[in-house]
Amino acid sequence: MLNSKHSYASANYWDTTNATQFPEEGKSYIRNKEDLGIAFSGGGNRSAPLTLGYLRTLHKIGVLSKVKYISAVSGGAWASVPYTFLDSSIQDETFLGDYIAPEDLDVNDIKNIGKSEYLTAPANSEVIGHFFRNLLEGDEFFASILNKIFLTPFFIGNRKKLFTLDHEERDRIIANNKSLKKSDFYITKDNRPFLIVNAAVSRSFITEFSRFPLEITPLYTGVPKHFPNEGANGNLGLGGCYIESFAFDSDAPESIDTANKSFTTRLNKEKKRFSLSDVIAATGSAPADIPIIGEIGFPEFKYWTVKDEDNPKFRAKEYDVVDGGYLDNTGVLPLLSRKVSKIIAFINTNTEVQYEKEEIEISNMIQSFFLKVKDKLDRYDNNVCLTQNGKSNAEIVKGLKDKFYNLKKQGLPLIITDNYQTMDNQLFGVVSGHSVEITWVHNSLNENWLEQIKDYDVKETVLNEIENNNFPHYATFFENSSDIIDLKNEQATLLAHLASHTIMENVKLKGDQSPFSV
């Protein structure tokens, strides 16, 4: 057990203002992987089983072991975090479940969530029940609920435990901190892609920006770009450094060693330390905008930056940390800032591609990279950072709409691959002049998948979900009115099976030309 009293810790930091590489590139087993990043968008409990389905097939076809990055938001992270930190006693195949071709699906496959241990989470979330049992948790309320749903079933739900990247990092930390030991840490499972979980630091006074991207990884956490005088009430800075994740949400440093890029700080008591439950709560805290619920207990973390070391007001300030989807709901922007050359973006949207009011409608998540787009939550207005040679950005969006709509009319998976060039984006630190190939995978009902289902009961279940619940575009929250994020067994399993087949069908159709043939 960790000491229940406050303890001091020595930890590393990385100054990001003039950095030429990201900290993970110091690991050869990460650096030497394919320059490929996968992004799983937000979308609450719609995105979680879709993400599980995509992970299932990517694992089956041997792609995941080659991927350098997974960047995830909200519901995408609710699947990606347990996958990344999965306890060694659980086999990947047990967690992910089997790929089952549509013609082989039977009613047991969609009713029996036990065929994937993970799907027991979104299909049995029962948030309302947890809600009343955790009312006294304060700002740990939401973290406590999600922990019981998405982490505890996979033996990674001890909220007194810290986390880090691997055995090497854990052993270095405990060598420098005698109050910590091996059993105080969760580490990532071998050969996982490097995980980036996306949240946002929010503060009450508004200048050009009101929220700032917070990247949470197994190795480090922080706001990468430096924004002087944007913190607190304008007298502190935000960003400009990463600190080791095990020391995040701590007091301002007692001392900073700039030569060795390290600091000494007082950690929180064990119940308040930065845990995996805090990670999934931070990235998925969109319900904070729901009246009454939002007043009860969503994440707040102590934050400071080494860039304020000489500021006479230097201190840790507690900020609200909100859903990463308020800035970028795709997870693509952190990959662009890392100059990843190939990105597969799974857009787990509730927007259906359709012809509406004399215009083709596609997800705002995609459009926001080319045009300023706002929705009812005032999101996506700072994402523009992509262009294509010789085209206006309006032309690019129109081309994407036409391609998606043509694929839908053919009953095919909505998968489009295009090449782009980056433009400067101040908020996320994307720099211009980088070429990138992006594959957009837009959530949609694949009519070919539906037609291939032979089992009468399965097909009737799918048709009923389409007619009555808009499958697969379920609501992000309150899809079933009895609970905030709970899905029925068949809703969760059908989403996962559809997602799994989306990749598999593309590989069969495109062969070596498929973006998934790595």
The domain spanning residue 419 has which CATH number?
3.40.1090
Mean pLDDT value of segment 138-155? 86
What total number of domains does the chain contain? Answer: 1
From CA 490, how far away is CA 73, in angstroms rounded? 24
pTM of the complete model:
0.94
From CA 502, how far away is CA 415, in angstroms rounded? 9
Classify residue 427 by its DSSP letter.
T
Shortest CA distance to 371 belongs to which of 347, 349, 399?
A: 399
pLDDT per position as a tens digit, 62-109 = 999 999 999 999 999 999 999 999 999 999 999 999 999 999 999 999
In this structure, are strands 342-347 and 36-40 parallel, antiparallel, or unpaired? parallel
Tell me the CA distances in angstroms from 178 to 171, 220, 262, 514, one per residue in order.
Answer: 11, 21, 16, 50
From CA 120, how far away is CA 126, in angstroms rounded? 11
Structural domain that includes position 437: 1-517
pLDDT per position as a tens digit, 159-207 = 999 999 999 999 999 999 999 999 999 999 999 999 999 999 987 655 6
Degrees, nearest 5: CA angle 27-515-423: 70
Instruction: Name the average pLDDT for the chain.
Output: 90
From CA 48, how far away is CA 76, in angstroms rounded? 5
Q: Match 């707040």 to its residue by tokens.
A: 300
Predicted confidence band of residue 398 (pLDDT cuts 50, 70, 90): very high
Predicted confidence band of residue 488 (pLDDT cuts 50, 70, 90): confident
Element (H, E) at 143: helix 141-146
End-to-end CA distance of the chain: 43
**Residue 181 contacts residue 14 (beta carbons within 8 Å):** no
Q: What is the pLDDT of residue 2?
A: 44
